[in-house]
Amino acid sequence: RIYKRQMICRSDIDQLNAPFLAIYETLKPAEEEKAKQKQLLTLLETLVSKEWPTARLYLYGSCANSFGVSKSDIDVCLAIEEADVDKSKILLKLADILQADNLQNVQALTRARVPIVKLMDPVTGILCDICINNVLAVVNTKLLRDYAQIDERLRQLTFIVKHWAKSRGVNETYQGTLSSYAYVLMCIHFLQQRRPAILPCLQEMETTYSVTVDEVKCAYFDQVEKLGDFGRRNSETIAQLVWAFFNYWAYRHDYANAVISVRTGSLLSKQEKDWTRRIGNDRHLICIEDPFETSHDLGRVVDKYSIKVLREEFERAAHIMQYDPNPCVKLFECF
Ligand code: GTP
Ligand code: MG
């Protein structure tokens, strides 16, 4: 471990820029995909407003946070302001309405952790999940999208990390590995920590956007167009950043004590979060603080088996980035 901690980046690292950028370009969704998603959303809005005239639909998740690869499913939130919302009843009603309008494979999953209706649009083939009143997810989607506009390297790095995680089977929360949302937060935090910083900490800046959702105050600086050249003083390239990201998670992160926090743009200690021991199913073996729901550790799904799998995958990736003649192939070899 000791000698690995002092690892110096390979000298030919910048030759990997072009192939990494090429991968990024192939993953990026085309503009016409966005248009099709909008079309489906408009149809859904029409159907929903007939039954619930004051309800609103919002896109969230990767179709709206700018970290979605081509052909992703879309996540939609139905926001209903009723005093006493019986989610199951609404989802079943919604499923009926969608089915009657010829949307395909409509299924109401009322007992899931996040209850949803699933459907497929027969015209575009788009798969869609609709949940009810998950407004915090809509707000954290905006935060991620705003960060993505500050420096393009965030989007590039995240696409590569998500592609790696999916290829290697470590983007499966039901198997104890991390969600896409967690990987995006890891990338944002990593770029906040570079010196000079590539990303600022928007929640520590002047508040220009503020909403309170489910008693959680969400406030940050969202006029990101004013920060256009924030990361300019740092000239690290995408290949260097991919190398350093895996190196960090393989050898440098202090798994025993540290919590990564996009909210503060810094590392916190498990001690101050009181995340030092297992409570219920939350084991806190890798700690990623949610930027708004600060009591929420996105690493909570990780258990004593999957932490080993994850760390071995980080080490494998770091090793490939250091020594493999062709990292852009080897890194993404399917598990
Ligand atoms: P892919 O579908 O894998 O491309 O990524 P995704 O960005 O859609 O990610 P994911 O399916 O993990 O999550 C969808 C959205 O739900 C995220 O963008 C978040 O807005 C939200 N979300 C997911 N997990 C959590 C969580 O544990 N807490 C909160 N507050 N929001 C979450
Ligand atoms: Mg999704």
CA of 197 to the centre of ligand 2 (A): 29
Cβ of 65 below 6 Å from ligand 1: yes
CA of 125 to the centre of ligand 1 (A): 21
DSSP letter at 50 equals H
Taken as a whole, the chain contains a residue count of 335
Cβ of 141 below 6 Å from ligand 1: yes
CA of 27 to the centre of ligand 2 (A): 15
Q: Which residues contact 17 (CB under 8 A, 6 or more apart)?
A: 237, 238, 239
CA of 32 to the centre of ligand 1 (A): 23
Instruction: Give 71's pLDDT tier (boundaries 50, 70, 90).
Output: confident
Cβ of 282 below 6 Å from ligand 1: no
CA of 55 to the centre of ligand 2 (A): 22
Q: Which residue has the higher pLDDT, 81 or 26?
A: 26
Query: What's phi and psi for 134, nearest 5 deg?
Result: -95, 65
* Structural tokens at position 21: 């950028």
Least confident residue range of 193-207, 276-290, 302-316: 276-290
Residue 316 DSSP SS3:
helix
Asked whether the predicted pLDDT for residue 306 surpasses 90, the reply is yes
Cβ of 291 below 6 Å from ligand 1: no
Q: Does residue 72 contact residue 59 with C-beta atoms inside 8 Å?
A: no
Mean pLDDT taken over the chain: 95
CA of 72 to the centre of ligand 2 (A): 7
* Residue nearest ligand 1's atom 21 by CA: 137
Ligand nearest to the CA of 185: 1
Asked whether the predicted pLDDT for residue 4 surpasses 80, the reply is no
156 burial via Cβ count (<10 Å: 0-12, 13-18, 19+): buried
Provide the pLDDT for residue 113. Answer: 84
Q: Which atom of ligand 1 is nearest to the CA of 138?
A: 20
Least confident residue range of 7-11, 136-140, 255-259, 286-290: 7-11
Give the alpha-carbon dihedral of 270, 141, 60, 293, to 10 degrees.
Answer: 30
Just give the CATH number of 2-27+142-330. 1.10.1410.10
CA of 8 to the centre of ligand 2 (A): 36
Q: Which atom of ligand 1 is nearest to the CA of 179?
A: 12
> What does the alpha-carbon distance between residue 257 and residue 251 come to, in Å, rounded to a whole number?
14
* Residue nearest ligand 1's atom 27 by CA: 298
* Residue nearest ligand 1's atom 26 by CA: 298
Residue located via tokens 């015209």: 123
pLDDT digit string (tens) for 100-124?
999 999 999 999 888 999 999 999 8
Residue located via tokens 């575009």: 124
Q: Which residues contact 160 (CB under 8 A, 6 or more apart)?
A: 20, 23, 24, 238, 242
Domain residues of the chain, as ranges? 2-27+142-330, 31-136
* Structural tokens at position 29: 């969704």
Instruction: Give 83's pLDDT tier (boundaries 50, 70, 90).
Output: low
CA of 175 to the centre of ligand 2 (A): 17
Just give the CATH number of 31-136. 3.30.460.10
Cβ of 181 below 6 Å from ligand 1: yes
ipTM of the complex: 0.94
Q: Which atom of ligand 1 is nearest to the CA of 166?
A: 3
* Structural tokens at position 296: 């929420």
- Identity of residue 56: R
Instruction: Give 279's pLDDT tier (boundaries 50, 70, 90).
Output: confident
Cβ of 261 below 6 Å from ligand 1: no
- Identity of residue 117: V
Provide the pLDDT for residue 7. Answer: 79
